[in-house]
Amino acid sequence: MHLRAGMPAFPGDPEFRSVPHRSLDRGDPYNLSALAFGSHAGTHLDPPRHFFADGLPIDRLDLEDFNGPCEVVSVNPARNEVGAEDVARVPPSTRRVLFRTANSDRWRVSGAFFPDYAALTPAAAEALVARQVRLVGIDSLSVELDPTGRFPVHHLLLGNGVLILEGLELADAPPGAYELVCLPLRLQNGDGGPARAVLLAR
């Protein structure tokens, strides 16, 4: 996702701001902006520290867990959830999987957050843990849609060492095998890491 003023943000999260600090238009010798945004802005990686006080922070994660071969799996756009049946379609031995849902096409026409986004069910999270997946990604700002505020999907995944990549834009990524390159900001003791995530054809 582009980091930009007015970009979608999860409800309650800080909004992105960019303020000119030095400007050629004002006669300064160069352009420089002051940025302010949350640690889970746009495309970002959730480390265990996001939900567990003693969990690993973003700067202590193993880069191999979120860089390497991955599989993009398309979910029926008529459904607003990723279920265990979708996990069953992930090729065996896959360690990194990204779910492309109706969210990706909606981002193209919506510049604002939409609360009825497609997300993982707890059953899907349990299936991913059983498959020993190391990273799951999705094209929504949260991997789960949980009105209770208990966040069972986050707890299931992060509590079992499955990293979460949220805020992806996958409209131009057909299902199949790719190489994932993902480098979150190296925030010391960070509870999240805004990232540039790129899929390379294999």
Beta bridge partners of 97: 71, 136
> In the predicted model, is pLDDT for residue 147 greater than 90?
no
Considering the domain boundaries, does residue 76 fall inside one? yes
pLDDT bin (cut points 50, 70, 90) of residue 111 is: confident
Of 163, 155, 144, 157, whose CA–CA distance to 63 is shortest?
163
Mean pLDDT value across the chain: 97
**pLDDT at residue number 191:** 98
> In the predicted model, is pLDDT for residue 74 greater than 90?
yes
Considering the domain boundaries, does residue 96 fall inside one? yes
pLDDT bin (cut points 50, 70, 90) of residue 110 is: confident
Mean pLDDT of 115-125: 97
Considering the domain boundaries, does residue 78 fall inside one? yes
Domains identified in the chain, total number: 1
Cβ(64)–Cβ(201) below 8 Å: no
Considering the domain boundaries, does residue 8 fall inside one? no
Separation of alpha carbons 168 and 42, rounded Å: 8
Mean pLDDT of 4-18: 95
**pLDDT at residue number 152:** 98
Beta bridge partners of 98: 72, 137
**pLDDT at residue number 91:** 96
DSSP letter for 38, please: -
**pLDDT at residue number 143:** 98
Choosing from 2, 21, 40, 50, the catalytic residue is 50
Domain assignment of residue 63, given as a range: 42-201
Q: Which pLDDT tens digit goes with each residue over 23-51?
A: 999 999 999 999 999 999 999 999 999 99
What is the enclosing helix (H) or strand (E) of 184?
strand 176-184
- Does residue 50 carry a catalytic annotation? yes
Of 115, 88, 117, 89, whose CA–CA distance to 102 is shortest?
117
Separation of alpha carbons 82 and 4, rounded Å: 28
**Phi, psi for residue 172 in degrees, rounded to 5:** -100, 15
Considering the domain boundaries, does residue 9 fall inside one? no
Considering the domain boundaries, does residue 21 fall inside one? no
CATH number of the domain at 133, please: 3.50.30.50
Considering the domain boundaries, does residue 69 fall inside one? yes
Considering the domain boundaries, does residue 83 fall inside one? yes
Specify the pTM. Answer: 0.96
